[in-house]
C-alpha cells in the first residue's frame, strides 16, 4: 500500500469516527428519556414496587451502572416518571374546550382527568405520595401547580379565592388537589364505576359560585 493510500484510509476512518460520534452522543443523551419511558411501562405492567434503577436498566438494555449517569437513586427516577406523566395530563387538559360555561368547562376537564386516571392509575397513586417516596423538585412542583390552576380557573371563580390574596388562593388549590386525589383513589380502589366517576368529577369540580342562588 502506498503512502497516499494509507493517508486515504486514515482520512476515511477519521470521517467515519466523526460521523459516528454525534450518534453516540445522541443515544447517550436519550438514555434518560428511555429510562423514564421504561419506568412508566414497568409501573403499568407490574406496579410501583417493580420500579428500580436496575429494573429500568434491564428493560432499556443497558448496564446496571448506566442509569446513575442521570439519576442518583430510585427516588430521582420516580420523580422524573411522575413529571413525565403529569406533563401528559397537562397536555390533555390544555386541549381547547369548545364554548360553554365555566361549569361546563370544568366538567370537560373533569372527564379528561377521569380518562387519565383510567389509563394511569398507579401514576396517580404515586402523585398522592410523591412527597414521601420521591423528591418533589421545582419541575414537579411547577407542573402540579399548572394542573391545579387549570381546574381553579380565574381567582374570582376558585373557591374562596380573591385576586391578590395568595393565602386564600393557596387554600383553594389545596382543596382542588384533595378532590382530584380523592377521586383518583376512589377509581384506583374500584369503589366507583367510570360512569360514576364522570358524574362525581362534575360535582366535585363545580365552582362554589355555581351552587349559589
Query: CB burial class (10 A; 0-12, 13-18, 19+) of residue 51?
Result: buried
CA distance 63 to 115: 36
Segment 62-121, tens digit of pLDDT: 999 999 999 999 999 999 999 999 999 999 999 998 878 889 999 999 999 999 998 888
184 has a pLDDT exceeding 90: no
Mean pLDDT in residue range 9-25: 41
The fraction of the chain above a pLDDT of 90, given in percent, is 42
Give the CATH number of domain 72-213; options: 2.40.10.340, 3.30.360.10, 1.10.357.10, 1.10.3720.10: 1.10.357.10
The rounded Cα 122 to chain-centroid distance in angstroms is 12
Mean pLDDT in residue range 192-196: 93
Segment 140-155, tens digit of pLDDT: 888 888 999 998 876 5
CA distances, 52 to each of 81, 99, 125, 148 (Å) = 12, 45, 17, 29
Q: What is the largest CA-CA distance in the chain?
A: 96
Q: Where are the domains of the chain?
A: 1-71, 72-213
Which triple of cell numbers denotes residue 123?
A: 401514576
For residue 2, what pLDDT band results from cuts at 50, 70 and 90? low
Mean pLDDT in residue range 58-65: 96
pTM, to two decimals: 0.74
For residue 213, what pLDDT band results from cuts at 50, 70 and 90? very low
Query: DSSP assignment, residue 135?
Result: -
127 has a pLDDT exceeding 60: yes
pLDDT score recorded for residue 188: 80
pLDDT score recorded for residue 170: 82
CA distance 61 to 212: 58
Segment 19-48, tens digit of pLDDT: 433 333 334 459 999 999 999 999 999 988
Which triple of cell numbers denotes residue 173?
A: 388549590
CA distance 64 to 15: 32
CA distance 200 to 183: 8
Query: CB burial class (10 A; 0-12, 13-18, 19+) of residue 31?
Result: middle
Amino acid at each position: 500500500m502506498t503512502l497516499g493510500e494509507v493517508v486515504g484510509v486514515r482520512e476515511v476512518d477519521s470521517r467515519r469516527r466523526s460521523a459516528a460520534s454525534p450518534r453516540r452522543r445522541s443515544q447517550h443523551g436519550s438514555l434518560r428519556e428511555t429510562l423514564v419511558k421504561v419506568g412508566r411501562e414497568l409501573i403499568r405492567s407490574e406496579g410501583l414496587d417493580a420500579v428500580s434503577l436496575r429494573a429500568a436498566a434491564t428493560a432499556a438494555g443497558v448496564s446496571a451502572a448506566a442509569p446513575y449517569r442521570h439519576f442518583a437513586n430510585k427516588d430521582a427516577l420516580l420523580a422524573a416518571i411522575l413529571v413525565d406523566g403529569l406533563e401528559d395530563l397537562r397536555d390533555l387538559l390544555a386541549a381547547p374546550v369548545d364554548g360553554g360555561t365555566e361549569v361546563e368547562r370544568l366538567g370537560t376537564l373533569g372527564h379528561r382527568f377521569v380518562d387519565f386516571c383510567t389509563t394511569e392509575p398507579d401514576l396517580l397513586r404515586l402523585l398522592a405520595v410523591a412527597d414521601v417516596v420521591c423528591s418533589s423538585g421545582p419541575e414537579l412542583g411547577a407542573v402540579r401547580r399548572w394542573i391545579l390552576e387549570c381546574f381553579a380557573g380565574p381567582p374570582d371563580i376558585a373557591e374562596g379565592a380573591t385576586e391578590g390574596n395568595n393565602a386564600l388562593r393557596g387554600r383553594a388549590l389545596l382543596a382542588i388537589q384533595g378532590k382530584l386525589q380523592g377521586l383518583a383513589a376512589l377509581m384506583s380502589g374500584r369503589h366507583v364505576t367510570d360512569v360514576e366517576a364522570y358524574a362525581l368529577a362534575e360535582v366535585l369540580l363545580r365552582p362554589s359560585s355555581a351552587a349559589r342562588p
